[in-house]
A and B are shown apart, each in its own frame.
Chain A
Amino acid sequence: MPSSDQVQVLNTWLSMFGLRVVIALKAKGVHYEYLEQDLQNKSQLLLESNPIHKKIPVLIHNGKPVCESLIILKYIDEAWPSADASFLPKDPYDRAVTLFWADYIDKKMYDAGSRIIRSPDAEQRDQGKKDFIEVLETLDGALGDVFGGGPFFGGQSIGFVDIALAPFLCWFEVYEALGEFKVWEAAKCPLLSKWAEAVWEVPCVKEALSIAPPHKLVEFVQAMRKKMQAGS
């Protein structure tokens, strides 16, 4: 790709979906401009780039917007192809299996985590916690049975599922604070817990996740909850 490529990322530090895009661009060595968005006061650029959903993240490549984080990941992989930094396996069946697990994370992880944060009562929060633990244990099983045991879902280097999952790690301290539990004590995940340590040390992941430090997320969520409780 020519160095005259213009790449912008519209995101907010609060979005684990946006961090996926940042990891992916860093993994490919693509230079980009990061534009932090205020979702309470959406910018003209965001509204024009994603008129249908008006959501982040958005990748803008030479003026052309791409929306939805997993679609963006596929685009980045295809637009900047490289033999040694490919996010998806070569074999179509293995590729489909990888995409299946990325979809699983999208459908289950965010929802369960959200319920730990947003549930108005302890019963719903506990159910969110149970479901969250179940998702982690399922992913642990998949890492072993489907993805060869690790260290990463992509094998020796990070791939599509690693990029889709890693940003959620920033939010584990939030889930722990609000759910009153310790993730790796409650969930039986011998492989996934090792994965969590290993993936955080991958340079492009570490740099991307530094946008959303866990302790800052905890402070933010706790401040928001105080505001909401004071308001009601």
Chain B
Amino acid sequence: MASEQVKVVTFWASPYGLRAEFALTAKGVPYQRLLEVDHWHNKSKILVESNPIPVLLHNGKPLPESLLIIEYVDEVWPSPDGKHLLPPDPYDRAMARFWFDFAEKKLNKALKSILFKKGDVQNAAVEEALRCISTLEGVLEKASSSKDAPFFGGDHIGMVDCVLGPFSLWFPAYEIIGDFKFELQEKYPHMHTWYQALRTSSVAACIPDSDKLLEFILGLRKVLCRE
């Protein structure tokens, strides 16, 4: 393992790339970031929608798709203190897969609409995003999440946290673009605890500067709305 080469081809602002980085960091796997410079800036909507990053390069073998990368990382590298990204029990794994599929297909889809759209379509997307947050709040509540076990993975970062966490970094930007508030602290206390816990956990080291990220996303919105 000493001669192992692990690289992630990504873009500094990409939440998809960050999913891969969260997974590697949570597992304690050293890796090298290969940054694609200027990936989205000044690019058209089509490129934004079909971006080919991240790619994981493990000893030269390429693997695209953030969700596949996370599962691969969990399978290849041992979990420190048994803290797997996916739980060992088949049913628990199916439930974790269901929730990250939900985060991807429902919440992420709504968040993308907030970014790309205007008017009634955007407003509907805001409503849908808040419904998804409410559902996820219920998941954490049912799992009795607390300050000691604030994550979807319980007391440690799991796959759902890797999938959802990077997109949560965009929440302040979505609020501005969609002219609404998530009101996590007031209405979704478990999600609020989760949101705060990510920022003090092991993966915090991967998180880009929030002001720089906000500026980038607002700039991206301007470009998307020009087309």
Contacts and interface: CB of A to CB of B under 8 A. Distances in A.
Interface of A: 52, 61, 64, 66-68, 71-72, 74-75, 78-79, 92-93, 95-97, 99-100, 103
A52 B102 contact: yes
Nearest to B95: A66
Interface residues of B, number: 21
22 contacts: A52-B102, A52-B135, A64-B91, A67-B98, A68-B97, A68-B101, A71-B97, A71-B98, A71-B101, A74-B94, A75-B90, A75-B94, A78-B93, A92-B72, A92-B75, A93-B63, A95-B72, A96-B71, A99-B71, A100-B63, A100-B68, A103-B68
B199 to A, nearest CB: 28
Contacts of B102: 52
A78 B101 contact: no
B143 to A, nearest CB: 16
Contacts of A72: 94
A78 B97 CA distance: 13
Nearest to B58: A93
B204 to A, nearest CB: 27
**Prevailing SS type, chain A contact patch:** helix
Interface string B62-74: 0111001101100
A109 B163 CA distance: 25
B79 to A, nearest CB: 14
A71 to B, nearest CB: 5
Interface string B42-70: 00000000000000001001011100110
B76 interface: yes
Given A67-B98, A92-B75, A100-B68, A75 B93 contact: yes
Contacts of A100: 63-65, 68
A63 to B, nearest CB: 11
A170 to B, nearest CB: 25
Interface string B81-113: 000000000110110011001100010000000
Contacts of B97: 68, 71, 74
Contacts of A75: 90-91, 93-94
Contacts of A95: 72, 75
B135 to A, nearest CB: 7
A10 to B, nearest CB: 15
Nearest to B65: A100
B72 A93 contact: yes
A78 B68 contact: no
A30 B71 CA distance: 26
A66 B94 contact: yes
A121 B4 CA distance: 54
6 A-B pairs closest in CB distance: A78-B90, A92-B75, A75-B94, A79-B90, A96-B72, A71-B97
Nearest to A59: B94
A37 B106 CA distance: 24
Contacts of A68: 97-98, 101
A66 B68 contact: no
A61 B72 contact: no
A72 B58 CA distance: 28
Nearest to A92: B75
B61 A61 contact: no
A6 to B, nearest CB: 14
Contacts of A79: 90-91
B71 A66 contact: no
Nearest to A98: B68
B203 to A, nearest CB: 21
